[in-house]
Amino acid sequence: MANKTISMSKLKQIIKLHCQGTGKRTIGETLGISKNTAKAYIEIFRSLKITWDELSKMSDHEVDRLFHPEKTVDQPEKLKTLYEFFPYAEKKLRQRGVTIHMMWEEYFNKNPDGYKATHFNNLFKAYRRRVTPSMHMDHKAGDKMYVDFTGEKLSIVDPQTAEIIMLEVFVAVLGASQYTYVEAVESQTVEDFISCCENALHFFGGSPRAIVPDNLKSAVIKSSKYEPTINTNFERFADHYSMAVVPARAYKPKDKALVEGAVKIVYTRIFTRLSQDKYTSVSSINKAIYPFLYDHNARSFKGRAYSRLQQFEEMEKPALEPLPEKRFEMRKQLDLTVMKNGHVHLGPDRHYYSVPYSYIGKKVRLLFSKSFVEIYHRHELIASHPRVKSPHNYTTDPAHMASQHQFVSDWSPDYFLKQAREISPDVEFYIAQVLLKKIHPEQAYRTCRGILNYAKRVGNQRLIRACNRAHSYGLYHYNIIETILQRGLDQYDEDDTQEELPFTSHENIRGEDYYQ
């Protein structure tokens, strides 16, 4: 029904045309009103169980009392009681499992001389249209959280460069209570998006049964009417918090009307209050947002005697699922082949992690987060390690190593020592020291291979001299041999050069303390 009450003359024309068999659309076009307005008055007319002849004989005052009872001062007591019950019924209907019929039964038990179910339903629908003119979806407490980013952005000023940095603004709304969360963030990347969603859940103090994102790339890789493709990390995040992902359907505005309505209010109640201030960090602007957000949630709805905060505390918060003890850690993925030394290489950290020896040479999937590394073979977890950001080092589970299982592969200490012995006893001694510096010899296999391969590239004699010079420094790893050969230091006697080797103190080079 329209926000503005139409004249009684036009109202009577609507009913007259309806009784003559004219369709709602035609009535709207003829009288210059919307089809929905005509429909609303026609439904009230039907619920009154009166004829056109009876209505046509009534005065405008009597018609107004029938069609707009909540605005009539001298309402019958029965009608007043009904309209006093409606706000309570509207709130209760947001709870899971509560139906309009259950509300009528509760009303009728308290008021045995009250309206019957059909009349109750029609008047209640008319009441809801008048308070909220656009038809809306019914939301159950604890059912869904709607999330999106605002179209407009906020900004901060870099205190060092005075550069203006634009920020995205994330909005989350719980369906039943419309309790809202707002956060400024640097980007719409998967990491930032998931972080915002997680912060919203902790702000609410629980998780709903489903999360409804718009078709953001951070959430939905490929939209589809029937089976959208969800971003893997976002799906894992939802699983961690026991939520289903239900993307808003494309070209279905009702699916995201709640969060879009919240965005419009956020512009008015938060953006305008921040526009005159300058903030120098994301945390400072979020700190400034919070009081305005609280005011928004605590403010009563238009035409209601309760607020989002009251609805949330009374009915939605108890319906949310408890949060898990640990926060979600986003994982990235790499597909690798297990090396002959029984390890896989995590490229971003340049660190090595062991897997059981039986998987040497096989394809595995490595998933890593900020704090842990998991290795899978055909979806089976075969190894798990804490993440260590230490370049060129190894994290090894002793139970994984071949030597613990009398396993013999192409690579072994004897294999590398034999190759070194064929070059020179000096190289054999150096390779033996490389092997001894590791807790597990397998960890040194790639190093040994790299050192011995220099024999083919620079010749045996240069490699022999490089090993001797590296031994004089007490350093036993690939990088020292590489540096000596690249700089040609093997061509000089030790006393002929006083140049200090940079690798003796470089942060990426391991000293002897590492091997203790």
Tell me the domains of the chain and their CATH numbers.
8-131 (no CATH), 144-319 (3.30.420.10), 332-405 (no CATH), 413-515 (no CATH)
> Which two tokens mark 378?
């055909």
Residue 509 clears pLDDT 60, i.e. is over it:
no
Question: In the chain, what percentage of residues exceed pLDDT 90?
Answer: 20
Residues 6+ apart with CB under 8 A from 98: 92
Predicted local confidence at residue 83, as pLDDT:
81
Q: State the burial class of residue 264 (Cβ atoms within 10 Å of its Cβ: 0-12, 13-18, 19+).
A: exposed
Distance, CA of 220 to CA of 216 (rounded, Å):
6
Instruction: Say what angle helices 24-31 and 8-19 make with each other, to 10 degrees.
Output: 140
Q: Kindly provide the b/e burial profile for residues 149-183, where b requires at least 16 CB atoms within 10 angstroms of the residue's own CB.
A: bbeeebebeeeeeeeebebbbbbbbbbbbbbbbbb
Predicted local confidence at residue 495, as pLDDT:
57
> Which two tokens mark 267?
């512009």
Nearest to 473 by CA among 448, 445, 501, 498: 501
Predicted local confidence at residue 407, as pLDDT:
43
Within 116-160, residue ranges assigned H as helices are 117-131
Question: Bridge-partner residues for 49, per DSSP?
Answer: none
Residues 6+ apart with CB under 8 A from 128: 90
Place of tokens 């602007």: 285
Mean pLDDT of 320-326: 90
Residue 254 clears pLDDT 60, i.e. is over it:
no
Contact 86, 127 (CB under 8 A): yes
Predicted local confidence at residue 464, as pLDDT:
92
Place of tokens 């139970």: 399
Contact 95, 319 (CB under 8 A): yes
Residue 476 clears pLDDT 80, i.e. is over it:
yes
What is the reported pTM? 0.52
